[in-house]
Structure formats: structure tokens, C-alpha cells
Amino acid sequence: MRPLPSPRRRTGLVPVGWCLPTAWLVLASLAQAAPAPVTDVAEAAELARPASWTQPSDPVLADQLAGWLATLPGITPARQAAAETKWASGTPPDRLDRLLQAVAESAAEYRPLQQEGDHLSPATVAAFTERFDPSAGTDFGRQVAALWTARQLVRHGRYDEATPLLVKLSVSTSPDPATLLFCRAACQYWLLQTEAAEESLARLLEREEIIPVRYRQLALLLEADLASLEQDSLDHISRRMRDITRRLDLGHAGPRLRAVQDGVIDSLDKLIKKLEDKQQQQQAASGAGGGGTGGDGRPMEDSQLAGGKGRGEVTSRDLGDGDDWGTLPPREREEALQQIGRDYPAHYREAIEQYFKRLAAGDGDR
């Protein structure tokens, strides 16, 4: 795990673990945290380095919109004026929403997106994604529509559908680079693309003084949370279980989901094996420590080698190859849950127990 770009961003933050809320809007009212003073020269130089992106101002966006409208074939002056009026009206206050209204006013192909709004159908999203051409990155209207669609999908936890659009968009030509970087980071975080998420968050926070407060606050939380995440830890396993549950709730089953499920079972096998080895080591140490007593439990009168009837061998357990994932016998499953419950907080056991119940009910069928 690479270090975070600046320690000051982690000041006062506590990793929130696997239960971090999915919607960034809940943090809209949070106040900005005061940064700690910079005490290191290298840190100061890094913070003084120019950001790799800029956020377009309203006049710049107005010019880009007017230039794009002028290139549309067959557009009438009245239609162009109506589109520019929608942008300049200031209603709704969100700039990306107003831009989409202006774009949809002048180009019919984008109206289905606006009409469906929060209830974008998978068919509409798939059709738009298939038509979206990354080589036409300077097409202002397509940039607006693609970013707006991706943001809607992220808001509803549809990260798998948003990702193909977000990877095609360019920060340098985006009408809203802050939203693009934030949505990218959100998808990468929830899909457990850890290194990519860290890079997107670091780049977003290059402009933390101008990005929306809700973006900044959640980006800092995500950044601190990723720093505490260890590969194949119980925390990491529980996040992948959460991702499986999200995909099942959205009806996204298939080979990709099977791969995530297989990975979860493999990691659980490793974790259980690790806990068993630890327990065996403790038992062995406990047995060695009892060598100073006689067979009846009384201390030995003279120093001597203690006798014992055991051979000192531990029976190895065959954990299998994971082919029968999610179908552990009840006794073995309960044993694993009890072991996890002894070594980890209770909510981990509850999460794993619910996960196995879903699989037993048939939710994991493909």
C-alpha cells in the first residue's frame, strides 16, 4: 500500500471500516477540517506543486456550450437561444444538471437521459455507453451527458455501469473535473480497486480548497479508510461480501460475480487456517509450559525432564480447494464463525453469518 500524499489530510480522521455509507450527500453539511501546520520542507514543496487540473468557471462553460451549439447541424437560432437560456437561468443550482438540460434542449439523442432522471434503465445506459465514442472527447455535449449519467449511476450504487463511462472521460476536457474524479474514486473504492482509488483521491484533493465540501470531506474519509485496509484481512473480506450483496440486489450475476465469490471463499479459507494455526501454536506453548508439573498436577520436587504420553503431533486439516463454496457443512461453518467471533468484533461474525444465509437461500445462483 503506497503512502498517502500528505499526512495533514489524515489529521483527526479515524478509519470508518467496512460500513462507510454509499452516498456522499450525507456529508454535505459537514464543516471543513482545519489542516495541521506543515513542518517538513518536503511536504511544503509537495503542497506548493501546481495541481494537474483546473475547474472551469461559469463563463468558460457558457463559451464551451455556445461553441458546441454552433456546430450542431440544422440547429435554429431559437433552439440555440433556448439552450443558452436554460444554462444561464441558474435553476437548478447544480451546474451539471443545468448543462444537461441545455444539451438535451438542443440535441434529441440526450432527452431520454433527462426524462428518466434518477430511474435510468439499464437498457438506456447500455445503449448510451455503447454509442459514446472516447475519440470524440472534445464533443462538449457528449462529455456533459456521459458525466451526468455516470454521476446518477454512482448515486444509486450502480458502480459497474458507471465505470465504463468514467474511464472514457478525460479530466482535461471535462466540464466538471471535480465530479469526474470524485465519481471515479467512488467506483474504484466500492469495487475495491485500492491503488486506483488512492490515485483518484489524491488527484481530487490537489484542489481541496475549491471542490465542494461534501467531496472534500468524503474524499478524506475514503483516503484514511484505504490506508488502514489490509489485503485478505477480515475487513477486506467483509467489503467483498458487501460488494457481492450489492451486485445481487442489482441483479448483476454471472462470471464476474462468481470470481468475486470464489475469491471471498479462498480468503476465508486462508483466514480460518491462520486462526487454527494460531490456536495450535497457543496450545503447543501451553503444553510446553506445563512441563514443570507431575502427572497428578503437583509441582516436581527436583528439576528434571517432564514425561508425557502425547506424540506432540497435530493432525492437519484438509480445507479443500474451494469448489463447494458457500456450502460448508453446518458444523464446520459454525466452528469457523465461533473462531472468528473470538478473535474479531461481533459485527464481522454477523456480516459473515448473513452472507452464508443468503447463499444458502440460493441468492448466489448464476
Query: Where residue 366 falls among pLDDT bands split at 50, 70, 90?
Result: very low
Q: Which of 137, 138, 140 is nearest to 107 (CA)?
A: 140
Q: Which of 22, 54, 62 is nearest to 144 (CA)?
A: 62
- The pLDDT tens digits of the residues spanning 164-215 come to 999 989 999 999 999 999 999 999 998 888 999 999 999 999 999 999 999 9
Q: What angle do CA 164, 165, 166 make, to 5 degrees?
A: 95
Q: Which of 98, 31, 23, 15 is nearest to 58 (CA)?
A: 98
Domains, the chain: 58-227 (1.25.40), 231-285+322-366 (no CATH)
- The pLDDT tens digits of the residues spanning 294-328 come to 445 555 555 555 555 555 555 555 544 544 444 55
196 contacts 183 by C-beta, under 8 angstroms: no
Q: What pairs with residue 299 in β-bridges?
A: 293
How far apart CA 205 and CA 220 sit, in angstroms, is: 8
Phi, psi angle pair for 124, to nearest 5°: -65, -45
- The pLDDT tens digits of the residues spanning 51-80 come to 899 999 999 999 999 999 999 998 999 999
Angle of helix 140-155 versus helix 95-106 axis, rounded to 10: 130
3-state SS of 28-81? CCCCCCCCCCCCCHHHHHHHHCCCCCCCCCHHHHHHHHHHHHHHCCCCCHHHHH
- The pLDDT tens digits of the residues spanning 147-174 come to 999 999 999 999 999 999 999 899 999 9
Q: What angle do CA 27, 43, 55 make, to 5 degrees?
A: 50
How far are the Cα atoms of 61, 107, 134, 296 from residue 96, in angstroms, in the given order? 10, 16, 19, 80
pLDDT at 345 over 80: no
Grid coordinates representing 107?
Answer: 440535441
Cα Rg of the chain (Å, integer): 28
Distance separating the N- and C-terminal Cα atoms of the chain: 34
pLDDT at 265 over 70: yes
How far apart CA 366 and CA 257 sit, in angstroms, is: 9
Please state, rounded to an integer, the average pLDDT across all residues of the chain.
Answer: 75
pLDDT at 228 over 90: no
Grid coordinates representing 108?
Answer: 434529441
How far apart CA 185 and CA 163 sit, in angstroms, is: 10
pTM of the model as a whole: 0.61
How far apart CA 46 and CA 23 sit, in angstroms, is: 31
Query: Where residue 20 falls among pLDDT bands split at 50, 70, 90?
Result: very low
- The pLDDT tens digits of the residues spanning 122-146 come to 999 999 998 887 666 578 999 999 9
